[in-house]
Structure 1
Amino acid sequence: MITSSDDYSLLFLLSVPVFLLSLFIFINSFMAIGYLLKPVLIMTVFVSSIIFYAISNYGIVFDYTMVQNAIETDSTEALSYLNIYLISFLILFGVLPSLLIYWAPIRQLSIGQNILSRLWLIGLCLLVIVPIVGSFYVNYAAVGRNNSDLITYVTPYKLLDSSVKFVKRSYFSPHRDFQLLDTTPSLSDSTGATKVTVLVLGETARAQNFSLNGYATPTNQYTQAKEVMSFSNVASCGTATAVSVPCMFSRLDRRSYDQQTADSQQNVLDIIQLAGSDVLWIDNNNGSCKGVCARVKSIELSPEIKNQFCDGEYCVDEALLSPLGDKLDHLTHHNTLIVLHMMGSHGPTYFRRFPQNKRPFTPDCQRSDIQNCTQQELINTYDNTIVYTDYVLSKIIEKLTLLEQTKDIETSMLYISDHGESLGEKGVYLHGLPYAFAPSEQTHVPMIYWQGSAMLDKNPACIKSMTAQSISHDNLFDTLLGITSVKSSTYNASMDVLAQCPILGVLANTEFENNQMDIL
């Protein structure tokens, strides 16, 4: 919490902009030399205008994760942020100042004069900085200690710092050999039945807007009749897809997660596939599995093919049902895991995430500059995305139910979102804030479980009694191993959300090495 300004003197508060201005001039005096002067200043101004727009309109901060998100964002997603308001903003605060810098005359100096003028500028800055720091050191130290997140708003140098770190970690880190966490996983289905598991990976869905979790607006009208079980207290691993998706499928937990480590070892899909299960990833999220599906079969939906579900840029999530149906009609293994990666509620163009004939809540926000919509319009649009997600989930359940009835196959579905979303609460929009001070809207995610009537190894009444327990993405690895009946040395029964709810006499995954746990 930011300390009240009443705790500081007026002189200290007035010194802050003077201090920052002097510091920026000091830094630029080293970088902007000779022919680099104008390019450096123009780049600084233009980049700062973009950051200023993101901070002032969406509450976004450009830390390491946000830089990673920006680098990994494809052109279609990036263009979704483009609107007249953004263009006008950038012209006013980016283009016009840059033109003034470009047209400003530069007086040619000799090398000696250039060095002397540079030293004079540096000295002048120090004459301002040193007395301010000396006079108000205690105040600056207190503010920095109590509000460490303020550094993320220093424009544009936090972005430059984060960019350097991203490049260093991504391109200049030492090579790591791929690590096999378990070389001999196996399938251990005590019922002997053929099993199909569908994992639906949601996008940008926040738990607060699910009526299954108590939300007043009926956003889950389709699945509420399907006997689903909604876990209402689930925390995400990150606040953006680039972190959450690889983290939730890795053996690492949120606190120990490191992208390079996760990329260089087996994830849960690798282990399930190695055990003998047929694993298929079907993607409707711009192919952004973030490396998780790199070693399993995958299908990426192409929005460029225009049809009733795709408009040339995006596909709504009903497009996932066709390849899912094809796979269910052509099962080749005794055990199958299908992952469906949704477009879900991805912003800011929420209005493009559902067909216009499935738009129950109006008036809504049919534009990308969502900060200029009313709060109710924005919430209505977002709720429409949740209703549509719920509709697609109900269709998946219907396909699995039909499969169970016609072919005597055990089926189950687990839905979980990668992260949540801010909808203007406290002036914050979208997602991606540093986890340490991200609001619950970005970290509280929905998780829904459904199992067919033929599922013999999980007690639904027991599961329903546990849906309020506090869990997180850290539980997905072991829960997925349990659902798919995979026996692995990596399995930890205490982290499997469903492990303590077996049908009497059925034990799954609990008799292995150091992970033994009496769950009866």
Structure 2
Amino acid sequence: MKRSEFQAAPVKHWSALTLSWLAALWMGLLANWPLWQRMLTLPELAGAKGWGFIALFAGMVIALHGALLSLLAWPRLFKPVLLLCLLSAAAAAHFMGAYGTVMDPTMMVNVLQTDAKETRDLLSLRLLASLLLLGLLPALWLWRRPVAPQSWAKRLGLNLAGFVGGLALMVGLAMSSYADLASTMRNYPALRYMINPLASFWSLGVVAVESHKAPAGPPAVVAADAHWQPADPKARPRLLVLMVGETARSANFSLNGYARPTNPRLAGLDVLSFRQVSACGTSTAASLPCMFSHLGRSAYLDHGADQENLLDALQRAGLAVLWLDNQSGCKGLCDRVPHAHATQAAGATPLPPGLCEGGECLDMALLHDLDTRLQSLDAQRRQRGVVLVMHPMGSHGPAYFKRSPEGQKPFQPECRSNALQQCPREQVVNAYDNSIVYADSVLAETIGWLERQKGFDVSLLYMSDHGESLGENNLYLHGVPYAVAPKEQTQVPWIVWLPETSAQRYGVDSACLRRQLDKPLSHDWLSHTVLGLAEVRSAIYRPEWDLMHACRKAP
């Protein structure tokens, strides 16, 4: 036998451009399965013609990703780039497919602001499987392919050819069915944020650019003229608790007509529940800063610059302000006022056993040792009035079952998983409704604490930051772009507790307020209602957005 017969077979070398296009093909076809699934449900794309358009659109997605990856098909660069793209595409495919989310800029802000506890609730075996099958395995295969050496000039020429060819193919496919493409994108704009993984990187870039545009230094001053002007300087100071969110949708409040008794304790108290309230956004990152702005949603979305907020105005007027958090933070709202987290004990009294486990607290922890927190505020400010903001965990998903203690789960069986799509929908609703019942209990206990504060005229406002989807139209959680968001994500509860003694002190006609329960309202009204209740005067105050203004009795 000849010696040459024992020589190893020559190693096949691959072109970096070929591997990049193979990755584009893999991601375009497989990692975009939520996009293809969504498009198949569109009535306009039913039948053979619709299937043909979806196939054409898939070709456009592959061509676009191939063109962009061609520019990066350099031997020492493209493998790390493909690894990042494949893993990002696999993760995005999981979340879009499991919860019906899209990768728009608002969602990327949510991703960037997610803390360790929220991340832990999102981990699941399905996420691991997606990362492994759609991301890691193809990435390992690509990583092991040896790359053929080529001169710099030849590589540049081939990469440019791949880029131009990909763009030409995409434009050609688009022009071949332009009418259908334009109509589909116009009627379903959220589809563009499901193109995976390009949408994630595009949205991340938008967030980075917007963040870079923000001027350096402190936020612009708002309400420089804010001052406290009580109707009766000799009256008792006011104590207002403002509980903000979390993730409560109006449709599941029995106070608003829901068939289940999700508000058993509040139903026995003299509270007002306003039924037609629209949120500023569909996520905490979008809604919370907007709620505390005096601008209103439309102007807030256009203003761009970083500004002070309601809490700054209250503090400038000389009131005592405290933000208590049991969430992932105040999104910068409380940076310039006293603030604390529920896990931080107020005094020497430790938190009761079982209230906080694994670094996460049930919302009743917000009430622990609250008298000590109140007394720790500046005494001179306390004599003018106190605004205590509570930011509870509320009904934050997907682990709804964690939001209520074992002894307070009236609706059974409940979904005990964070993979909501794997549970029967009625179990998902049970877990969510149990969290609403617990929120009802927290609100009732807060009202009980307020009733014991004899040195103040007291009141409470509760308003959710956004709603939640519980499987309607195969959507879960929240964060759908506002223009196409379902009402389950945009309609939120607003509950007011104003005891008659406080109503008289504030000069508010309670009967008049009750006649406003079905009045269309929005987050725009919150800041101005608080300014009115706190007796803070400023040029930013708009009486037409003060819930109490129309019902105030003439002096």
Fold shared per TM-score above 0.5: yes
CA shift for structure 1 position 4: 0.8
2:395–2:403 Cα contact (<8 Å) kept: yes
Corresponding letter in the other structure for 2:364: E
| Inter-CA distance 437–281: structure 2 relative to 1 (3 Å threshold) | same
2:94–2:126 Cα contact (<8 Å) kept: no
CA shift for structure 1 position 422: 0.8
Q: Which of 162, 169, 172 is the aligned partner of 1:128?
A: 169
| Inter-CA distance 198–144: structure 2 relative to 1 (3 Å threshold) | same
2:499 aligned partner:
452
Alignment of 1:315 onto 2:361: yes
2:129 aligned partner:
88
CA shift for structure 1 position 437: 0.7
2:266–2:444 Cα contact (<8 Å) kept: yes
2:214–2:305 Cα contact (<8 Å) kept: no
Alignment of 1:428 onto 2:428: no
1:144 aligned partner:
185
Distance across 1 between alignment mates of 2:208 and 2:166: 31
Distance across 2 between alignment mates of 1:167 and 1:127: 29
1:303–1:310 Cα contact (<8 Å) kept: no
Alignment of 1:295 onto 2:336: yes
1:200–1:340 Cα contact (<8 Å) kept: yes
Name the SS for the 1:390 alignment partner: helix
Q: Which runs of 5+ in 1 are unaligned?
A: 507-520
Distance across 1 between alignment mates of 2:305 and 2:148: 53
| Inter-CA distance 330–452: structure 2 relative to 1 (3 Å threshold) | farther
| Inter-CA distance 433–96: structure 2 relative to 1 (3 Å threshold) | same
2:411 aligned partner:
361
Corresponding letter in the other structure for 2:356: C
Q: Which of 333, 337, 354 is the aligned partner of 2:387?
A: 337
CA deviations over 1:84-136 (Å, ceiling 9, x no partner): 22212221211111111112222222334424443553465356335423422
2:288–2:465 Cα contact (<8 Å) kept: yes
Distance across 1 between alignment mates of 2:81 and 2:221: 46
1:250–1:262 Cα contact (<8 Å) kept: no
Q: Which of 371, 374, 380 is the aligned partner of 1:325?
A: 371
Distance across 1 between alignment mates of 2:223 and 2:550: 24
2:312 aligned partner:
270
CA shift for structure 1 position 252: 1.9
| Inter-CA distance 199–126: structure 2 relative to 1 (3 Å threshold) | closer
| Inter-CA distance 31–458: structure 2 relative to 1 (3 Å threshold) | same
2:45 aligned partner:
5
CA shift for structure 1 position 260: 7.5
Corresponding letter in the other structure for 2:444: S
Q: Which of 407, 410, 415 is the aligned partner of 2:462?
A: 415
Distance across 2 between alignment mates of 1:275 and 1:418: 26
1:33 aligned partner:
74
Alignment of 1:377 onto 2:427: yes
Percent of matched pairs sharing the same residue: 36
Distance across 2 between alignment mates of 1:383 and 1:199: 22
Distance across 2 between alignment mates of 1:481 and 1:338: 13
Distance across 2 between alignment mates of 1:480 and 1:297: 18
| Inter-CA distance 201–123: structure 2 relative to 1 (3 Å threshold) | closer
Name the SS for the 1:403 alignment partner: coil
1:222-241 equivalent positions in 2, closer than 5 A: 222-241=265-284
Q: Which of 240, 243, 255 is the aligned partner of 1:212?
A: 255
2:323–2:389 Cα contact (<8 Å) kept: yes
Name the SS for the 1:263 alignment partner: coil
Q: How many residues are matched?
A: 500
2:230 aligned partner:
189
Distance across 1 between alignment mates of 2:536 and 2:193: 43
Name the SS for the 2:146 alignment partner: coil
CA shift for structure 1 position 143: 2.4
CA shift for structure 1 position 43: 1.4
Alignment of 1:160 onto 2:201: yes
Alignment of 1:440 onto 2:491: no
Distance across 1 between alignment mates of 2:75 and 2:167: 22
Name the SS for the 1:343 alignment partner: coil
2:152 aligned partner:
111
1:254 aligned partner:
297
Q: Which runs of 5+ in 2 are unaligned?
A: 1-40, 346-350
1:2–1:147 Cα contact (<8 Å) kept: no
Distance across 1 between alignment mates of 2:179 and 2:304: 40
Distance across 2 between alignment mates of 1:168 and 1:84: 34
CA deviations over 1:455-483 (Å, ceiling 9, x no partner): 12222211111011000000011100111
1:285 aligned partner:
327
Q: Which moved more, 1:16-25 or 1:165-174?
A: 165-174
1:511 aligned partner:
none
CA shift for structure 1 position 329: 5.6
CA shift for structure 1 position 491: 0.9
Corresponding letter in the other structure for 1:50: A
TM-score, scaled relative to structure 2: 0.85
1:474-485 equivalent positions in 2, closer than 5 A: 474-485=524-535
1:303–1:315 Cα contact (<8 Å) kept: no
Corresponding letter in the other structure for 2:293: S
Q: Which moved more, 1:212-221 or 1:480-489?
A: 480-489
2:550 aligned partner:
500
Name the SS for the 1:179 alignment partner: coil
CA shift for structure 1 position 212: 0.2
1:509 aligned partner:
none
Distance across 2 between alignment mates of 1:113 and 1:183: 63
Name the SS for the 1:244 alignment partner: helix
2:73–2:159 Cα contact (<8 Å) kept: no
Q: Which moved more, 1:145-154 or 1:207-216?
A: 145-154
Name the SS for the 1:281 alignment partner: strand
CA shift for structure 1 position 372: 0.8
Query: Could you say which structure has the larger radius of gyration?
Result: 2
TM-align CA RMSD: 2.3
TM-score, scaled relative to structure 1: 0.91
Name the SS for the 2:77 alignment partner: helix
Distance across 1 between alignment mates of 2:257 and 2:305: 35
1:419–1:444 Cα contact (<8 Å) kept: yes
